[in-house]
Structure 1
């Protein structure tokens, strides 16, 4: 099991470590990218790692290509039709009907019916060749550029290694424009709803090719967070993700916030807040030394953070302070989402469950 799979699918807890074996039929290898997800009555109780809203609908993704959707605020779930059985990690719907999901084996899925059915738009067998073709074209016009030479070599390695690099998050600004990020500085952008993808590895301040764990907005600003305290913000003038200095060198797993305020969170309860577009960051004391793995925002503007063990912390003062919610049934959590009724839905090793908010 790779380090990436350990960090994301286990939600930073050894209790979540469940290896995945590619299916074998009649003694022959069958690639998960060519194997539709199996239907299961227990899917809603299996390990789920991503969760979002598609309008009033909830959509969750998890192991073995399972995608579930609920139209009654998470009380009942139906399983979607999915063309792969790769482990899925993240999902996002910019509008109620159009959504994207990403995961292991470099897979990118798209739904145009609010998550009921999905088609594959990209997988790891295509990622390396797309990168190689793109950076070879760039190098042809700038043959002395050392960075482009390195990108061509990196893309060649991707081709040779095959479909083993995961995408770990996805975010779309609209039905057309979106980003996917993943292991070893993998980052792509689409401007046509996923029909074509452009690599942006040369447009990040990430010379060490650190893993990228999340891409999310805070107000009008778009951030990426990753390993070793990495925080990058999109500079729209140069169309580059520029690194911002943070007082922490451990992994960060998520971003949340609103106009004028951003929060990044990660290992050992480390949460940092910025009110100046990421120039300066202040540590927020939680009093809880557990990794923060999920976040959500209520309709009245409260910010929720969830620990790897399932603790729910609530802020009613724009992220300046957080209070621990008392009525929490602890279980490992990888994703969280406030439903249309105001309750919190959690995704993790025990599947999907509702939690009333105080």
Structure 2
């Protein structure tokens, strides 16, 4: 039997579904998982959500499955061959040729040629299957334990059983809804081991380069299914996750077990930036909030920045200069390993979704209006 809190959450989700029923029905008319990305004129002006550099190549990903690359500093752009037309949100490369991209409908794409050609490794259909199978197994195991327990033990197990029943209801709900939930971040330790995280607590891992995936969501104490916005493996080996409403988790045993970290801020965090020169890590998010940790996330210190709008992108150059970018065209930098930040620019016109550094002390940034360049 679901407890009253769980019932309220389920009613809230059903209400949201009714509100979204119209747009979702329209999307069902054409499955973007089966539709390759189309070719667009002036592709560099598309809405992009992430950017990276691969040697002399610039690579961007974004709306309608668009992935574009330039080999001449952004003068000319070529569209990659992509098998889906869903929004792509993030990418990660382990070297200059092997990379992965994630996006809406829980897609995971893989390239072995520096982003020119991509293959689909995983999507929301398979994600829903894994989550439903896992929720059924967890509920059945708890049900059997509960039925075999004495009355006192049943009292202790009742809340766990309620949580398992609620998780099963959510998995059934998502399965009926279809492959709708997005993945928001991807990180690979090497060509084999990687993680992806996303909305409503999506968390999957692979140990064979993306050929097969398994859910890690039940290893986190994320009963409210908060969005997981970013994941990174630190140079120390610790794995850190940040997300909605100050959600924070860490693993210190290669992802086998996870602990919930104390969050210094109740607002959402959007990204993680390690500063390996000083063995510290920065997290950043809503309203310009930035925090640093020197002990793998066990404690945090607030970092003052001139930014007051959401920070959504970060990078660090070969000299240890840290760059953060975000809404209202804000760009801030630190030349002292993230201890202090000064403003590079704030135009008020663009929301910079991501940033990367070029070799000539120039930044490449992406927004809903395309690719931009800015000295720093």
Could you say which residue in structure 2 is the equivalent of 1:213? Answer: 229
Q: Does the 8 Å CA contact 1:311/1:330 hold for their aligned counterparts?
A: no
Which of 227, 243, 258 in structure 1 is aligned with 2:275? 258
Greater C-alpha radius of gyration: 2
* CA drift at 1:288: 2.5
- 1:328 to partner: Cα distance: 6.3
Match of 1:173 in 2: 189
Q: Highest relative contact order (Cα 8 Å, sep 6+), 1 or 2?
A: 1
Find the counterpart in structure 2 of residue 196 from structure 1.
Answer: 212
Summarize the Cα distance change of 1:58–1:152 in structure 2 as closer, same or farther, 3 Å threshold.
same
CA contact (8 A) 2:181 2:199 kept: yes
> Cα deviation per residue 1:115-151 (whole Å; 9 max; x = unaligned)?
0011111111221112223444556666437365554
CA drift of 1:258 comes to 2.6
CA distance in 2 between counterparts of 1:339 and 1:247 reads 33
Q: What CA deviation, in whole Å up to 9, does each residue of 1:52-76 have, x standing for no partner?
A: 2334422211101100112233343
Instruction: Tell me the CA shift for residue 101 of structure 1.
Output: 0.8
- Counterpart of 1:307 in structure 2 is 326
Q: How far did 1:210 drift?
A: 0.5
Q: Measure, in 2, the Cα distance between the counterparts of 1:162 and 1:330.
A: 36
Name 2:118's counterpart in structure 1: 118
Q: Does 1:337 align with 2:374?
A: no
| 1:217-255 residue CA offsets vs partner (Å, 9 max, x unmatched) | 343332111111112222317722322112210011001
**Does the CA contact (< 8 Å) of 1:101 and 1:170 recur in 2?**
yes
Deviation (angstroms), 1:287:
2.6
TM-score calculated relative to the size of structure 2:
0.83
Taking structure 1 as reference, are residues 31 and 306 closer, same or farther at Cα in structure 2, changes over 3 Å only?
same
1:35 aligns with 2:62: no
Paired residue for 1:222, among 218, 239, 246?
A: 239
Provide, for residues 84-104 of structure 1, a one-character-per-residue CA deviation record: whole Å limited to 9, x for no partner.
111111111112211111111
TM-score computed with the length of structure 1 as normaliser: 0.86
Q: What runs of 5+ residues in structure 1 fail to find an aligned partner?
A: 1-19
Alpha-carbon distance in 2 for matches of 1:339, 1:135: 45
Question: 1: CA distance between counterparts of 2:254 and 2:45?
Answer: 45
Q: Report the 3-state secondary structure (helix = DSSP H, G, I; strand = E; otherwise coil) of the residue aligned with 1:278.
A: coil
The answer to whether the Cα contact below 8 Å between 1:265 and 1:292 also exists between their aligned partners in 2 is yes
Cα distance 1:23–1:108, how it changes in 2: closer, same or farther (>3 A)? farther
1:27-66 aligned at under 5 Å gives the runs 29-66=29-66
The 3-state SS of whatever aligns with 2:132 is helix
**Does the 8 A contact of 1:217 with 1:255 survive in 2?**
no
How far apart, CA to CA, are the structure 2 residues paired with 1:97 and 1:39? Answer: 23
Change (3 A) 1:217 1:237: closer
Distance 1:148 1:175 in 2: 34
Shift of 1:302: 0.8
1:154-173 matches, within 5 Å, as 154-173=170-189
How many pairs does the alignment contain?
Answer: 335
Q: Tell me, in whole angstroms, the C-alpha distance in 2 between the residues paired with 1:182 and 1:293.
A: 15
Contact 1:58 1:339 in 2 (8 A): no
d(CA) in 2 for partners of 1:218 and 1:315?
Answer: 20
* Structure 2 Cα separation of the partners of residues 216 and 339 of structure 1: 22
Shift of 1:310: 2.0
Distance 1:171 1:238, change over 3 A: closer
C-alpha separation in 1, matches of 2:310 and 2:254: 34
**2:150 aligned partner:** none
Preserved CA contact (<8 Å) 1:151 1:202 = no
Judging by fraction of residues, say which structure has more helix.
2
| Alignment partner, residue 324 of structure 1 | 343
